Structure 1
């Protein structure tokens, strides 16, 4: 009578099985992550398309797009704080009528007493999902009314101001532009793009956000001639060099969608997307307030570029490698340039 034998895995066989499983995971995980990022990017595109639809519905009713920032005069408040953003002014065209009704436009957004006090507390605490890119890791990790989508000033940089400025882009302070102002063609003019939300200090997950050159001023890189109080003889190259050298750093990009500001709700097409040489939330070389932000860079966690909403309502992917000159041309509404789609 023979005894039955029990046979198990040898150590070598077990290690081989573990190695095979590890290889399969290594092969499948990037594919899963890529599929998830593709879904997040598609949602980001959808958010921008909704924003574009809202802009055109607003334009149909008002005959202009909203101003990038609208000013509300309140006594004993700084002249450049608490101004309403274009996003806030078009809430009713984004299926956000209840939130729009809660906005007290006769008062500043922060009412001079901080972002969570006064007449607009509800607005300052409101999280609007379509204003957040799902690929941004800070979307659910920071409090307040965060914002991922920024209206374009074109190749012009602005500090907060109560003065109406002309910009080369589609949005500015205290002034509105319409389709009639877009002689370059709505399909050739960027209306908005995305930007990574910064925390309240000086850190960002990727890229750079803001630089300031001078106090309240207007800087058009096409002319390379600074206006107002910009440093004498400043050019784009020297302006960037000043920020690289250090000085003052600031965070807070995209921290408030309702409070209109270059830092919070507007960007410019001066520095190409995701420029990696600028690693801080903000940088300024002027001598004014810490929020006098000037150059805001489009940025994202999508691989190789950012989604951009154009004035015709279409959304296209702009690569990080786009030529600076082409990026500038896409930012202007009436620069007279001819831009081929092959160039980006």
Structure 2
């Protein structure tokens, strides 16, 4: 007698394949969520390190660094630096910081005023501590409207994913002497990191735990990268004076490394003369984290800020000295 052959029928095989497909479809979101959780944890760790660096800077020098400052040679914004450059020694980047030329060199990849001398070390350099791991944006891509366009054969400067908070518009307390309109959008000198000046812990009269110091700017506005990285993420500002000294709404006053908060988190529409270019003062806070961004408070703690936060709360959080209570 012939024994029967044991094998899957075509129907059984199709059923097995269908079951495997369903299981993969169920498992894939969980895997993606786990990966995002790990990336978000690393991003949070970056904020914690920046918080420690800012506090250690304050302990050493008696204040936080200039949020953004002008240089003393041609293209003052490209020879000046912002807070992200200033705290490098406190992020275990002493060797890098010690090579930088703050007197005659450029901190930009701009083809007409490129990295030179010892500042060439910044050309093509990517420091992971200033990059959100959830963002797919290439940190060496020259963003539209920026000056990070190196000459042929050269490499660009790094585009940073974290931005300092200069304050908010409208000012929650209605002040007009420290929040002013310029030709590049509204500029503020009410946050923890201010253009053209330094701040101290005592300036955060609302309390450091109620004051946003640094936030994410690692996402996109529509399909464009519009972040405070004009001329590259290391550079400074055009005018060497604080916001309170702005004399006219037509002043060409802008800065790198800072944002005066005006728009909702993850807002996907740019606004001319406010948030449409990297040299405008109200660049939007955004990220690829689902539902919001990470932020660093003045006390060094890291918080997740949902994109649904109401604007009044966000403005109060962004101004450290408005004298108003904050329910965040």
Q: Deviation digits for residues 300-340 of structure 1, max 9, x if unmatched?
A: 11110100100000011111000110100001111001012
Structure 2: runs of 5 or more not aligned = 142-155, 169-178, 229-237
Query: How far has the Cα of 1:197 moved from its partner?
Result: 5.8
Distance in structure 2 (CA, Å) of the matches to 1:292 and 1:44 = 25
1:145 aligns with 2:158: yes
1:1-344 correspondence runs (5 A)? 2-74=1-73, 77-107=74-104, 108-110=106-108, 113-139=112-138, 142=141, 144-155=157-168, 156=179, 167-196=189-218, 203-204=223-224, 228-229=248-249, 262=255, 264-276=256-268, 278=269, 283-285=271-273, 292-341=279-328
Could you tell me the TM-score, scaled by structure 1's length? 0.74
Distance in structure 1 (CA, Å) of the matches to 2:124 and 2:180 = 28
Contact 1:209 1:295 in 2 (8 A): no
Contact 2:109 2:115 in 1 (8 A): no
Aligned residue for 1:84, secondary structure, equals coil
Query: How far has the Cα of 1:139 moved from its partner?
Result: 4.4
Q: Deviation digits for residues 176-222 of structure 1, max 9, x if unmatched?
A: 011011100000000000112669xx9437xx658xxxx99x9x9xx
**Count, aligned residues:** 283
Distance in structure 1 (CA, Å) of the matches to 2:10 and 2:109 = 70
Query: How far has the Cα of 1:8 moved from its partner?
Result: 2.0
Query: How far has the Cα of 1:230 moved from its partner?
Result: 5.3
Query: How far has the Cα of 1:37 moved from its partner?
Result: 0.3
Q: Deviation digits for residues 120-174 of structure 1, max 9, x if unmatched?
A: 111233211110000001146746422111110111578799xxx8611112222
Query: How far has the Cα of 1:10 moved from its partner?
Result: 1.4
Alpha carbons of structure 1 residues 140 and 330: separation in structure 2 relative to 1, 3 Å: closer
Distance in structure 2 (CA, Å) of the matches to 1:340 and 1:188 = 9
Distance in structure 2 (CA, Å) of the matches to 1:166 and 1:30 = 42
Distance in structure 1 (CA, Å) of the matches to 2:115 and 2:162 = 22
Contact 2:216 2:287 in 1 (8 A): yes
